[in-house]
Structure 1
Amino acid sequence: MQQCETILCLSVYIITFITGFPSNILAFYTFSSKVWRKPVPIDILLLNLTISDLLFLLVLPFKMQEAVDGMHWNMPYFLCPLSGFIFYMTIYNSVFFLTAVSVERYLGVAFPIQHSLRRRPVYAVVASLFLWMLSMLHLSIVYIVPYYNPAGTGPPPRNVCYEEFTDAQLRILLPVRLELCIVLFCIPLLICTFCYVNFIRILSRLPNIGRRRKLRAIGLALGTLLVFALCFGPYNVSHVVGYFSKSSPAWRDKALLLSTFNACLDPLIFYLSSAAVRSTLASMAQGVWHRIKTGSSVIFCWRLPKDGHEGTKNSFPLPGEINAL
């Protein structure tokens, strides 16, 4: 059985949850408000990415409890395949929607007139539904394999979750993992790389784009590719290694921890890609600063009359002091 050090895993899960949940709630509020007022394809895609990240974060406490129990599953067993299905499905959902955002941005700069004329929110809705269904169908293997037992040798072990597979289960699981790596990671990575490389190339040639905006766009492109490489790369490489070694590599759990960080890195992409998120965050910061200033003024005004009263009181001689003058 793969062993994930309790302190390491729990630290990564807690940091991801604490930083990712509030930032994704903020992004959800911003994008849902924008889509409700005026739906735009890229906001619809980013809203779906936010929903996917929130689902991921909601099942993260199950992984925390599993880490606390030493990678043993002491909760009701039906929660194991269900939480695992949502956990892995939302990881590949992030891959899909980050790729979709890259395509949307590339088309916007490569074919600005044609894209603006054919840009319809309904296309983004249909694409989002298709991507959700694609990831759910592919990752259904996570829900099925724990119950798969063709030899009828007894029920699967219930004290571990998604571990200790039989040879029959591995014969199905390992080829599917390889297919996940190729179809759900390598192809989107190639598409995303092509779109952002050309996005940067075209944008750098446009004279009417300000330097600050160009730098932000380059940061968005490089940040997205960095998320692909660091968060999703090692985990998908473990699929390839496992396929050829006929077993899950021992470092697979640690590679999965890098994928976990994606939920708290996506909000950085939201900040770079959406002016609405930047505006909402700035408004919140101004509101907090205004409250701090207002609170300081109230404290100052509360102290001032008191100090002034004491000063007035001390400026006159006390009754016993009159005779001493």
Structure 2
Amino acid sequence: MLYLLLSGYVVTFLMGVPANILAFYTFYHKVRRRAAPIDVLLLSLTISDLIFLAFLPFKIKEAADGMAWMLPYPLCPFSGFVFYVTIYNSTLLLTAVSVERYLGVAFPLRYSLCRRPRYAVLASVTFWVVTSLNLSIVYIIPYAQWSKGAGGDVNSSGGASSNATAPPTCYLDFSEDELNIVVPVRLELFLVLFCIPFVICCFCYINFILILSRLPNIGRRRRLRAIGLALGTLVVFAVCFGPYNASHVVGFVRQESEEWRNVALLSSTFNACLDPLIFYFSSAAVRNMLSSCFRGIRAKLHILRCGRGPLPHLQG
């Protein structure tokens, strides 16, 4: 299992970083030139993925050490908090993208009158606040474990005492009292940050597909691409975030923290690689930027090949 975790994290990091940097560069310049709500939301999703990838090396180190926490313990609550916040922030941003697309085809005239980029900015900030508040337990529990230490001492400033013993793992082992807090909160995360967004996504994309299928003035190729994008986004949402959130329900029923949660988390981790694919099919700017990069690489390779030329023959 550790080898699977380590391999999954490394592959996600190596694939996700360049793809999301390219997407960030594209959306950043597009928003600066002429901001549209969908571009603001996709830029926010890219930033969330990049923050996630920036903290992924902590998980790589943890998996390489056999799930023992060998880094300075204050990094445990902070890195875990940011890691999980960005995962759930992605679910809310993907939901907002589905709502924006649905409103654009269901109420094109009425929605165009109130379509403002600042609303997308406000939504993005709200999502960060909501996920941070809901995921605060990921910071509180490890910090409380560290503060208690061996003797449960806390210094006058509210931090861990000098003789406190750092736990050997990070947010993995819980006492019975801690489980009584963690398990219900995880069920709340499943309901509020997964089920509700997924139901909204299903409603928006199913109606999006039905409306597109009835529109006569859209080319067949464009219609099929839009429908494929909607179905693909739903599949990515369910496959990436479903298994990990299902572990919350199983843990609540069994009143324990499931050991296979880390394996289920791999699918959510891999979402950072799949989001750029959604960007590619949903944004012409990303497709043009990627094509431009490939043309530049081919041109440089051609110049290198031509620059070598045949070696001159040595004169006798």
Query: 1:131 deviation in Å?
Result: 0.8
Residue 43 of structure 2 aligns with which residue?
47
Choose which of 176, 200, 205 in structure 2 pairs with 1:196.
Answer: 205
Conserved 8 A contact 1:27-1:270: yes
Cα displacement (A) at 1:88: 0.5
Change (3 A) 1:143 1:151: closer
Indicate which of 265, 271, 275 corresponds to 1:266.
275
| Alignment correspondent of 1:281 | 290
Give the superposition deviation at 1:118: 1.1
Query: Structure 1 residues 115, 287: CA separation in 2 closer, same or farther (over 3 Å shift)?
Result: same
Please state how far the C-alpha of 1:257 moved relative to its aligned partner: 1.0
CA 173–205 in structure 1, closer or farther in 2 if over 3 Å, else same:
same
Structure 1: how far apart are the matches of 2:148 and 2:74? 21
Q: Which moved more, 1:199-208 or 1:266-275?
A: 199-208
Contact 1:146-1:156 at 8 Å conserved across structures? no
- Equivalents in 2 of 1:198, 1:159: separation in Å? 49
If you compute each CA radius of gyration, which structure gives the higher value, 1 or 2?
1
Which SS does the other structure have where 2:67 is aligned? Answer: coil
Contact 2:69 2:170 in 1 (8 A): yes
Write the deviation string for residues 77-108 of structure 1: whole angstroms up to 9, x where unpaired: 01001110011101101100000000000000
| Candidates 15, 18, 26, aligned match of 1:19 | 15
Q: CA deviation at 1:217?
A: 1.1
Query: 21, 26, 37: which is aligned to 1:30?
Result: 26
* 1:171 and 2:167 are equivalent in the alignment: no
Change (3 A) 1:116 1:178: same
Report the equivalent of 1:213.
222
Q: Is the 8 A contact 1:41 1:121 kept in 2?
A: yes
Moved more, 211-220 or 128-137: 211-220
Amino acid at match of 1:274: S
Q: TM-score, normalised by structure 2?
A: 0.92
The match for 2:91 is 95
- Distance in structure 2 (CA, Å) of the matches to 1:57 and 1:147: 23
What residue is the counterpart of 2:82 in the other structure? Answer: 86
Unaligned runs of at least 5 residues, structure 1: 319-325
CA distance in 2, matches of 1:7, 1:252: 15
Q: Distance in 1 between matches of 2:260 and 2:62?
A: 17
Map 1:1-325 → 2, pairs under 5 A: 5-148=1-144, 154=152, 157-300=166-309, 303=310, 306=312
Structure 2 Cα separation of the partners of residues 265 and 102 of structure 1: 16
Q: C-alpha displacement at 1:147, in angstroms?
A: 2.7
Tell me if structure 1 keeps the 8 A contact 2:73–2:166: no
Identity across the alignment (%):
61
Structure 1 vs Structure 2 CA RMSD: 1.8
**Structure 2: any 5+ residue segments left out of the alignment?**
153-163
| 1:176-229 deviations in Å (ceiling 9; x for gaps) | 100000000000000000100111111111122122212221221112111111
Counterpart-to-counterpart distance in 2, 1:157 and 1:166: 15
Q: Is the 8 A contact 1:28 1:50 kept in 2?
A: yes
**Count of residue pairs the alignment pairs up:** 303
**Structure-1 separation of matches of 2:148 and 2:84:** 27
CA distance in 2, matches of 1:92, 1:187: 12
TM-score computed with the length of structure 1 as normaliser: 0.89
Question: How far off is 1:146 after superposition?
Answer: 1.6
Q: Is the 8 A contact 2:20 2:276 kept in 1?
A: yes
CA contact (8 A) 1:85 1:142 kept: yes
